[in-house]
Amino acid sequence: MRNIFSLLLLSISFQVTCQVVGGKASFSFLNDPANAHLAALGKYNVSVIDRDPYLTNANPALLNKKMDKAISVSYMPFMGNIVFSSIAGAYNFNKIGPVSLSVTNLNYGKFVERQEDGSEIGEFSAQEYAVVLGKSYTVGVVTLGADVKFLGSQIGSYRAQGWATDLGAIFKHPEQDFTFGFAIKNLGKVYKKYTETSKDSLPFDVQLGASYRFKHAPLRISLTGNNLNKWDIVYNDPYQTTKVDEKGQPIQKKTKNFERLVRHATLALEIMPVKFLDLRFSYNYLMSRELSLTDGISSAGISFGGAIRWQFLEAAYTHSIVSNAGGMNTFTLNMRLGEISDLYKREN
């Protein structure tokens, strides 16, 4: 029999970074970005157009010709032996246009396998992964995109597999640096479950957002709404101490509609003082409320980082706060292979 206690700790250790809304479905790691740029934007963004091919995982319509021959490699070490990593690339074919491919892996490490009496009988590993193939098509100021995901998960000898698709659209203003994005995430099915009683739903999500870069200031601001398919995403913790009235009866906790509304919002700010440097900040209100140990506002949900560019390379870093004890660090290296080839030809 597997060491159930170890598996519970495994699940809790990573899912504490996930919003409770996403934790109710299989393959909930799809809600979390293995990429410094997207993490710095508050993990939700469907409207920022950039050269980073991993952004197509946020919205397949973000795939564009500027990503041609670009590769993005990301690494996020977490507590224990957990490692979240990804590699993404894009290529612009002459006849069919831009195509993207990415692989994301969440490796939980190795665990001791024991019998019911506690005796050790060996080790087992656990990991989850997604392979995503995407395509976009632009008509005028509108870009449409779609991707197909193959999903896999392994806990020892247990396996789960599924497939999903994302659909997206981007509107780019013809004169202003303004973009509006929309995405429907994780439409699909788990066709092979760990056991007959395992969850078989995917973390379905509807998102929309807008980004605006000021004409006379090195500043871009983004506002993104997530989980728009469900109005009330407030999680009432059953283990939280319940207040009682004078008769000793529990007081029903009420949530105002404004509180329900702002839990869907993520605000991001990008400052670009010089061409080779980006500074990024964001605030995810839902993460702040769900990961707070009190009823007050906490620093959880704040992410900050930046990127430095040099010729065909871009190195990015983001720190995301998940509790008062600390947070997660994400590292990304982007390479534009097309520019490397052009540079080599000029020098020779």
Could you write out the DSSP letters of every residue in 176-244? Answer: SSEEEEEEEEEEEEEEE-SSTTS------EEEEEEEEE-TTSSEEEEEEE--TT-S------TTSPPPB
Least confident stretch, 114-123, 221-230, 270-279: 114-123
Asked, for residue 144, whether it belongs to a domain, the answer is yes
pLDDT at 151: 97
CA dihedral 289→269→76→114, nearest 10 degrees, is: 10
pLDDT classification of 98: cutoffs 50, 70, 90? very high
Asked, for residue 111, whether it belongs to a domain, the answer is yes
Asked, for residue 329, whether it belongs to a domain, the answer is no
Q: What is the mean pLDDT of the chain?
A: 85
pLDDT classification of 53: cutoffs 50, 70, 90? very high
pLDDT at 266 over 70: yes
Percent of the chain surpassing pLDDT 90: 58
Classify residue 335 by its DSSP letter.
Answer: E
Asked, for residue 162, whether it belongs to a domain, the answer is yes
Asked, for residue 261, whether it belongs to a domain, the answer is yes
Asked, for residue 308, whether it belongs to a domain, the answer is no
Overall pTM surpassing 0.75 (yes/no): yes
Rounded average pLDDT over 133-138: 96
pLDDT at 12 over 50: no
Asked, for residue 164, whether it belongs to a domain, the answer is yes
pLDDT at 2 over 90: no
> What's the structural domain count of the chain?
1
Rounded CA-CA distance 192/278 in Å is: 43
> Is the Cβ–Cβ distance between 151 and 161 less than 8 Å?
yes
Q: Supply the range of the domain harboring residue 153.
A: 4-235+254-265
Rounded average pLDDT over 20-44: 83
Asked, for residue 27, whether it belongs to a domain, the answer is yes
pLDDT at 17 over 60: no
